[in-house]
Amino acid sequence: MSRSGAITFKGAPMTLAGDAIAAGQAAPDFTCHYFEGGMKSLGLSDLKGKATILSVVPSLDTGVCATQTKTFNDKLSSMADKVNAVTISLDLPFAMNRFCGAEDIKNLKVASDYQERSFGNAFGTLIEELKILCRAVFVLDKDGKVTYVEYVPEVTSEPDYTKALAALEAAAA
């Protein structure tokens, strides 16, 4: 399934692959990868047990994506050990680690969907025309149920940090 015109990129309508995720549904499974002493995989089962925020960005090497990641990193400092926080993009894990080291990102993990686009297809964030992920935020409760969804309508805009963080705090309570 595809969702034509679901979002825009610099004003141009874009198509998202997969179904839209809605609050109240069980989060779909996915497999992403990260590098921590070797290549490792991350999936839904790894996130259960704690409330989770999934911050989805097209690429950490762009201004808005860097701002989004740094903002969530800063705002999550008081919750870092109580929640799972993951930024997901199609950037290679090595590039993601370089970004996190250069920007002192310590309160969230970065995971790449570069191999199979598993996350992008499962969560409906893969932009078919550009083959990158759109900007989105998902909050899951400790059991993996979706409690908050934001597909940012214009890819070059930032998400609603206040609403996403309030949803995360509620899910973590």
Active site residues: 65
First to last CA, the chain: 35
How far is residue 145's CA from residue 25's CA, in Å, rounded to a whole number?
6
Phi, psi of 77 (to 5 degrees): -60, -35
Count of residues making up the chain: 173
Helix axes 161-172, 63-75, angle to 10 degrees: 40
Q: Are 25 and 166 in contact (CB under 8 A)?
A: no
